[in-house]
Structure 1
């Protein structure tokens, strides 16, 4: 596992993944439409990305819209798609200026075609940037990703293109949507909930988990710093005894 076997106070996370939870509850608590909660959540995204740049975190993945979120009301889904559309249109120039590379993972076939085109354009435009890799999971589900990868490997075996004996953890990971992106060292979830909710299930096998009571629209750089500080205090063993590391 390259040089990721860390002991306390030795290193900051290379990859932080965040389950951005609580937009709706934030709005409900204030008697506001859920749409306004999502808009405030977009502001929290801006603060988080700026904080990641300042903290020199190379990779950050944000869970923006899950495969299960399609079950929400048509109105809310349309509002979320509209917000995503505006975000892609308004932020890409700033991303490019700040050296941020944007990647989007998830099932694009369910997204409106104009959003698919905006994503492709943003990814191409920022492809060479190196200050920060910002990965946004949209229409994403961890179980679906694993099943799709297994299906592609099975098809390759059936076609005689792959020997079953050659399938191992590395070859499986290479078929995931996150191929080429390191596994998250730290997974943060806001709103006080303590579960992964079908997010990066394969990739988070050895991630440190950090749960924040704040709702996502209230999340800021200080919360990211607190999570990183807690990460640095932990000892990562990957199943080994401390004395063997």
Structure 2
């Protein structure tokens, strides 16, 4: 594959995914490799996030979903969690102007109740300020887990049954899908995972049933324009049958 040719001629990416989801893995390993404090790997990862957002706009991607903080990440040290929460709020406060200028709508998916009041307030403000933007939908999965997502949808359905609003006999895949996160956007076409691991890590379990998967050994802070183009080019070569012939 001639990546220089791809980078010069973006039209070589003939079939583009509407919705890309990314498991951004490798921040801490990047910091260790570069002999820096592991927290600084997260700051470096933010720079890559900004680049990929701009590339998504360039390639007319409609939806970009980023796995930033899983429900399992609370097991990390209290210092790291504190740093991540402060970094998250700082980014929301600072970058919201850029999102508005670029007509990007921001949506946070996950269990937001565990965040402190200040962060919850910043999330609401950012979502409200960008709700009418339509160039790109940027979903940030924070305190998110695929199992939580499914359980949460089941609770919503059960409540409707309890209130007599839904007959249990009518429950099917469509009903479940209508109560899951990202039910109102394009299905996930392509999942990219950086960092050299070959697993999904409890990310969008329901939503990626027929998504194409792309894995790269590049650590997230090192993931660049050519790497993104390579993932898109790989997608154009896939034969998506969705269970059919």
Which runs of 5 or more structure 2 residues have no equivalent in the other structure?
1-12
Secondary structure at 2:72 match in 1? helix
Shift of 1:221: 2.1
Cross-structure match for 2:101: 97
1:65-109, Cα deviation, whole Å (9 max, x unpaired):
000001100000001011101111111100000010000000111
Structure 1 position 136 matched with structure 2 position 151: no
How many Å separate the matches in 1 of 2:131 and 2:230?
30
Cross-structure match for 2:149: 145
How many Å separate the matches in 1 of 2:139 and 2:47?
17
Shift of 1:225: 1.2
Structure 1 position 46 matched with structure 2 position 50: yes
Q: How does 1:1-245 map to 2 (within 5 A)?
A: 11-241=15-245
1:182-237, Cα deviation, whole Å (9 max, x unpaired):
22100000011011000000000000000011000011222111111100110000
Secondary structure at 2:236 match in 1? helix
1:12-57, Cα deviation, whole Å (9 max, x unpaired):
1000000000000000112211111000000010001011000110
Secondary structure at 1:21 match in 2? coil
How many Å separate the matches in 2 of 1:28 and 1:10?
38
How many Å separate the matches in 2 of 1:221 and 1:115?
31
Secondary structure at 1:171 match in 2? helix
How many residues are paired up? 233
TM-score (ref. length: structure 1): 0.93
Shift of 1:177: 2.1
Cross-structure match for 1:5: none
Secondary structure at 2:239 match in 1? coil
TM-score (ref. length: structure 2): 0.93
How many Å separate the matches in 2 of 1:78 and 1:10?
43
- Moved >6 Å (runs of 4+): none
Secondary structure at 1:196 match in 2? coil
How many Å separate the matches in 2 of 1:103 and 1:152?
20
